[in-house]
Amino acid sequence: MANPAPLTITDLVALKKAGRKIVVLTCYDALFARLLDDEVDMLLVGDSVNQVLAGRETTLNATLYQMIYHAAAVKRGSRRALVFVDLPFLTYQVTIPEAIRNAGKVLQESGAHGVKLEGGRHMADTVRALVEVGIPVMGHLGLTPQSVHQLGGYRVQGREPVTAGRLLEDAKALEAAGACALVLELVPATLAANISKALTIPTIGIGAGPGCDGQVLVLHDMLGLNEGFEPKFLKKYGELAKTVREAARAYAAEVRGGRYPGPEHSFE
């Protein structure tokens, strides 16, 4: 059986029109990319790598080179899924020429299909400029982690009528600027559904209810590897932290007891 054709940016809108939910997972390396590639529509190389793998408290000190390194690894491991990459804090907010240069560098050096950036109407000109030079852009509204201090922490956004109205207008502005998709994070389900209906581009929800056109989770959270992280929106599809600990415990016991390696693992 022939391998399915790689997805393209235009497929995202087609999936929305067909009413087929878009499946997205974060990914940071080639090994997991190979395992996920046949099951998902998009692999998102999130700046959450700074927290999940590097042990930092926030995404704010993720670097462009860090994102390129992980994005290139993911792209090498995938053949079918779209690969999008987060632009780190202050790599796209300072000037539009700098945003074009940094986003272009990400695509050139990683082979990814597009970039994701945070912010609403105030980022519309930047989105438009990136799209005009051929760089696909996915927006990100609601809880925007790069603004976590300004927002007062990781909390649901858009619960009040005024802020809900702003989010809807921000979403429309990003679509008009040429964004090809939009992540909605920690947004009330009704608001996220209304935004999704108002747009022709797909919405990808995380903590935004079932009315979005697709869903994304952080892979390590979904697999149960990130112990102690239990937000309401997260469903764990595995408990791999327990599996890893049990495997490490069994390995340690066999090494200390002289049972590994055995004759079957040794060379004459």
Rounded distance between C-alpha atoms, residue 68 and residue 85, angstroms: 8
Rounded distance between C-alpha atoms, residue 67 and residue 45, angstroms: 7
Distance, CA of 88 to chain centre: 12
Structure tokens that stand for 154 in this block: 């990781």
Helix (H, G, I), strand (E, B) or coil at 229: coil
Long-range contacts of 58-67 (CB under 8 A, 24+ apart): 58/145, 58/148, 59/86, 59/88, 59/89, 59/145, 59/146, 60/89, 60/146, 60/148, 61/89, 62/86, 62/88, 62/89, 63/88, 64/88, 64/91, 64/102, 64/105, 64/106, 67/106, 67/110
Lookup result for tokens 């696909």: 136
Contact 158, 164 (CB under 8 A): yes
Structure tokens that stand for 176 in this block: 């008009």
Residue of 39, 98, 169, 185 with catalytic role = 185
Q: Where are the alpha helices (DSSP H) in the chain?
A: 9-17, 30-36, 49-52, 64-77, 96-110, 124-132, 148-151, 161-177, 189-198, 219-222, 240-256
Rounded distance between C-alpha atoms, residue 70 and residue 54, angstroms: 12
Concerning whether 185 is annotated as a catalytic residue, the answer is: yes
Q: Cite the active site residues.
A: 185
